[in-house]
Amino acid sequence: MTIGAVIKKYRKKIGMTQEEMANRLGVTAPAVNKWERGNTLPDIALLAPVARLLGITTDELLSFQDALTDEEINQYLSLIQRDLEEKNFHEVFLDAKKKIEEYPNCEKLIWQAAVILDARRMLMAPPAQEDYEQAILGWYERCLCSESEQTRNQAAGLLFHAYFRKEDYERALRYVEYFSVDNPERKRKQALVNSRTGKKMEAYRAYEELIFSGYQHIQVVLNDLRILYMQDGDHEMAKKLVTAASSAASAFEMGKYNEVCMGLDVAAWEKDVAWTVRIMQDILDSIDTIGDFSKSRLYQHMAPKAVQPAFLDGLRQRLLKSFGEETFDYMQGNEYWEQLKSSEFI
């Protein structure tokens, strides 16, 4: 909000006309009118008297850097998009620049207006495009200091791609540092640069590591969600998530063991004897495939180590022991399960 807008807002709030205000301050009514229209500013000596007259502090009077509400930002962004269809780019750009100067601390306004104008700039290719680009990139740079990690990441990502398109890979990499080491976008962007700068092996390995860690994250989320549906007694969704987990294991070439093991908890929850037997059989028959991902070409540049036989033997014994626990007492009388419980198997 400009100083003139603040004056107008509080003058009307106390029910005072421009003429009355002018008389109180010893100025002319046209002078007050010019303040409110933003054509001129009050003399610095008048700031304190104006504030006292309006019943506000000088800080409030000078609050033209206040943040906009989300609703106001969205309305203005809609206006920019509409104006870009009806006006020339330069005119809309100058209006946005003025708005940003009016609200220099409003990060959401800055980066979203920048995104809209940047996209239209690349589409329309207006004259003096480099000047517009530098201003827009400057707006992105300002958002790198945001307290919001999301805003910082968005700004860093936009700057990264801007310099990546220019093939200025050294500068593009500077913005990768704004992403936390745990953010997969950091590794992906690094790999993107490596793929263009003669480091293809590093790029392949990074992408494969992202696939592998992405799969693990997917399975953790699917498992958590399955447990939640089981707590709510939703059998249909619990089974659906088992199917999704199995499909993911297949798609990411994680081996038969990982495809079949997901349903055992649901089978036990439902006390489905036949389903439990099938899963137990499939699990025991496919233990040797637990490390099959190491043979997949999806992960060939990671050079994953093969699973050792000692680990597989230990896993088999732990599984057999767990199959005999109280959780599976509903299996009593089933020939296959009774054999598993016998000393011959455990």
CA proximity to 116, closest of 147, 85, 160, 142: 85
Cα(308)–Cα(313) distance, integer angstroms: 9
Q: pLDDT (tens digit, 9 = 90+) per residue, 146-201?
A: 888 999 999 999 999 999 999 999 999 999 999 999 999 999 999 999 999 999 99
Phi/psi region, residue 87 (left: phi>0; alpha: psi -120 to 50; beta: rest), is beta
What confidence score (pLDDT) does residue 62 get? 77
- At 270, the amino acid letter reads E
Cite the residue boundaries of each domain of the chain with CATH code 1.25.40.10: 70-201
Integer CA distances (angstroms), 104 to 137, 145, 280, in order: 15, 13, 63
Q: Are 241 and 267 in contact (CB under 8 A)?
A: no
Can you tell me which residue has the tokens 């827009």?
136
Q: Is the pLDDT of residue 144 over 80?
A: yes
Q: Which residues fall within 8 angstroms of residue 38, CB to CB, at 6 or more apart? A: 2, 4, 5
Mean pLDDT of the 5-19 span: 91
CATH number of 70-201: 1.25.40.10
Q: pLDDT (tens digit, 9 = 90+) per residue, 228-262?
A: 999 999 999 999 999 999 999 999 999 999 999 99
The pTM is what? 0.75
Q: pLDDT (tens digit, 9 = 90+) per residue, 324-337?
A: 888 999 999 999 99
Cα(21)–Cα(29) distance, integer angstroms: 8
Integer CA distances (angstroms), 128 to 84, 121, 122, 164, in order: 17, 10, 12, 21
From start to end of 124-214, where are the E strands?
Answer: none
Cite the residue boundaries of each domain of the chain with CATH code 1.10.260.40: 3-61
Q: pLDDT (tens digit, 9 = 90+) per residue, 92-103?
A: 999 999 888 878
Q: Which residues fall within 8 angstroms of residue 27, CB to CB, at 6 or more apart? A: 46
Mean pLDDT of the 7-19 span: 92
Mean model confidence pLDDT for the chain: 91
Which of these CATH numbers, 3.30.70.260, 3.20.20.140, 1.10.260.40, 1.10.10.10, describes 3-61? 1.10.260.40
Number of helices (H), then strands (E), belonging to the chain: the values are 19, 0
Please give the structure tokens belonging to residue 312. Answer: 């597989």
